[in-house]
Amino acid sequence: MAVFDPVIDEQTPAADFTIAQKWDRYTAEEHAAWDTLYARQVEITRERSVKEFRTGLGLLDLGSGGIPDLDVINPKLKALTGWEVVMVPHLVPDEVFFTHLANRRFPAGRFIRKPTQLDYLEEPDIFHDIFGHVPMLTLPVFANYMQAYGRGGLRAKSLGRLKELARLYWYTVEFGLIQRPSGLKIYGAGIVSSAGETPFSLDSPSPNRIGFDLERVMRTDYIIDDYQQLYVVIESFEQLLGATQQDFGPIYDRLSADETRYTVTDLIEDDQIITRGTQAYAAAKAG
């Protein structure tokens, strides 16, 4: 169900689905919702997020008070990595989404969640999109990875391989962990923007955590409506970018030739197991 936002509803989107932010039209309540979410997530991610994420928050000054104004943050982001944020009304079709990424534009929803839904959202709002995704776009290697993903998405779509490629986005951009000398850290936007999943992803004994393997990830299902039962751990952002700098054609051929697929709880022989989960969280939910 799309969230009602009068400033979205009065606009006719452009051919690329973008709309104007009309920053002046956010209400005091909407700015207050940002401030509440920001204060909460900065606190809870402080010791748990990768330092590049926190550096990004600071470079863009996302905690200066209220919902960020794109006219203020875009010049900074552009100067750092050539990326910019554009506003879209809700989810956009895959090829539209990928075309934006391939051109270093990150599509963000304009609306912000209501105070009654601070913890669960059916579609990405401006807090998830800007707090969660945009700080990492200040990091050149991650910025390049996101563009590579967009280009790969357009190709995957034309080859009928979107389902597999989307899993890469899910297990990295949205729910990725990284190994650092001080321990596992979070960088995925779906984690850093969630008060519940931030501690769960690192501390819960329930989920499996495995080392990154591109083809393994592409063979693996994911959960969209609850905490993950599998987290994928990268060694570095260079590893992630490097994985996209190969021809995915042969990988897609192998995915066709061998239709083995994994559920979120499967562990396999070749996995680099970082923590073997108890699956207790999922079992409790199942009753």
CA atoms of 179 and 17, how far apart (whole Å): 37
Which ranges in 139-265 belong to alpha helices (H)? 140-159, 162-169, 189-192, 197-203, 214-218, 237-244, 249-257
Has 174 been labeled as part of a binding site? yes
Query: Does residue number 94 form part of the binding site for ligand HBI (CB under 6 A)?
Result: yes
Only segment of 68-76, 88-96, 243-251, 276-284 that touches ligand HBI (CB under 6 A): 88-96
Helix (H) or strand (E) holding 186: strand 183-186
Q: Which two tokens stand for residue 53?
A: 């994420």
92 binds, among ligand HBI, Fe ion, none (CB under 5 to 8 A by kind): ligand HBI
Q: Pairing between strand 183-186 and 177-180?
A: antiparallel
Question: Which of 90, 85, 135 shows the shortest CA–CA distance to 112?
Answer: 90
Residues 176-195 that bind Fe ion (CB under 5 A): 189
Give the CA diameter of the chain. Answer: 56
Count of all residues that appear for the chain in the document = 287
Query: Does residue number 16 form part of the binding site for ligand HBI (CB under 6 A)?
Result: no
Query: Does residue number 92 form part of the binding site for ligand HBI (CB under 6 A)?
Result: yes
Q: Residue 145 Cβ, how far from ligand HBI at the closest point, in Å?
A: 13
141 binds, among ligand HBI, Fe ion, none (CB under 5 to 8 A by kind): none
Query: Does residue number 124 form part of the binding site for ligand HBI (CB under 6 A)?
Result: yes
Chain residues that interact with ligand HBI, rule: CB under 6 A:
88, 91-92, 94, 97, 107, 109, 124, 166, 169
Chain residues that interact with Fe ion, rule: CB under 5 A:
124, 189
Instruction: Summarize the annotated binding site for Fe cation as residue ranges.
Output: 128, 133, 174
